[in-house]
């Protein structure tokens, strides 16, 4: 079975900044150098952001990026479906998967990016992990990166790194990508055989 434990550490990049953030710097460097070394410069910019800004400034930056007048949103289901009914279906299924895996989502929703990242290595079904990443998360990340436009926000670089790592982990996936076309996106959840009988 593929080792996907690095997603647990990567999840910490996208959590609300706390005082223990610097503890992950060494692990992030190791992950990036082993998978996407060409993107190491983007990581170093992010690390400088952590080292040079006080925690309160990091928290304000995070809020300005993802919460207040957000450049993009961290809830994958919202990125994919917006306010569409199928986002609710996606949330129900993600909640079930999070609970089955014993993944603590804290006060955030089950489709919150850090919660989905920390879920990946806990999934027993390797096909489900690959399908979630390749069918849902990769298209969502591409959409999130595009939302930044030319903005040089440090989180844009980290999303690009995450996308690169996912491409490295699953280079030849057989799973179909999510389609943002409103006529097609309702079919996406039907592709997950594990979810077909869940309402």
Query: Residue 121 sits in a domain of what CATH number?
Result: 1.10.3480
> Which single residue is written with the structure tokens 């400034």?
57
Q: How far apart are CA 52 and CA 187, in angstroms?
A: 46
In-domain check, residue 1: no
Q: How many domains does the chain have?
A: 1
Residue 81 makes CB contacts below 8 A (sequence gap 6+) with 87, 90, 185
Domain residue limits at 68: 6-195
Q: Does 58 fall in a domain?
A: yes
108-118 average pLDDT score? 97
- Domain membership of residue 161 (yes or no) is yes
Position 177 in a domain: yes
> Do residues 168 and 189 lie in contact, with contact meaning Cβ atoms separated by under 8 Å?
no
15 inside domain: yes
Q: Which two tokens stand for residue 65?
A: 């990026």
In the predicted structure, residue 198 carries a pLDDT above the cut 50: no
Any idea what DSSP says for residue 24? Answer: G
pLDDT value of residue 79: 93
Return the pLDDT at 179: 82
Whether the predicted pLDDT of 197 surpasses 60: no
Work out the pLDDT band at 183, boundaries 50, 70, 90: low
Residue 110 has pLDDT above 90, yes or no: yes
Q: What is the pLDDT of residues 120-135, one digit of tens each?
A: 999 999 999 999 999 9
- Provide the whole-model pTM: 0.91
The answer as to whether 168 is a domain residue is yes
């Amino acid at each position: 079975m593929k080792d996907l434990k690095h997603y647990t550490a990567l999840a910490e990049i996208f959590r609300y900044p706390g005082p223990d953030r610097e503890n992950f710097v060494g692990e992030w460097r190791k992950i990036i150098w082993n998978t996407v070394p060409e993107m190491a410069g983007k990581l170093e910019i992010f690390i400088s952001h952590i080292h040079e800004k006080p925690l309160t400034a990091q928290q304000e930056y995070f809020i300005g990026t993802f919460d207040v007048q957000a450049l993009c949103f961290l809830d994958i289901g919202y990125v994919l479906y917006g306010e569409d009914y199928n986002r609710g279906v996606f949330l129900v299924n993600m909640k079930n998967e999070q609970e089955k895996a014993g993944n603590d989502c804290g006060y955030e929703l089950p489709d919150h990016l850090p919660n989905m990242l920390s879920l990946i290595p806990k999934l027993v079904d390797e096909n489900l992990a690959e399908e979630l990443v390749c069918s849902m998360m990769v298209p969502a990340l591409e959409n999130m990166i595009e939302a930044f436009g030319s903005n040089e926000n440090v989180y844009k670089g980290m999303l690009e790194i995450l996308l690169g790592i996912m491409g490295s982990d699953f280079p030849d996936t057989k799973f179909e990508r999510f389609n943002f076309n409103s006529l097609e996106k309702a079919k996406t959840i039907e592709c997950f055989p594990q979810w077909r009988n869940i309402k």
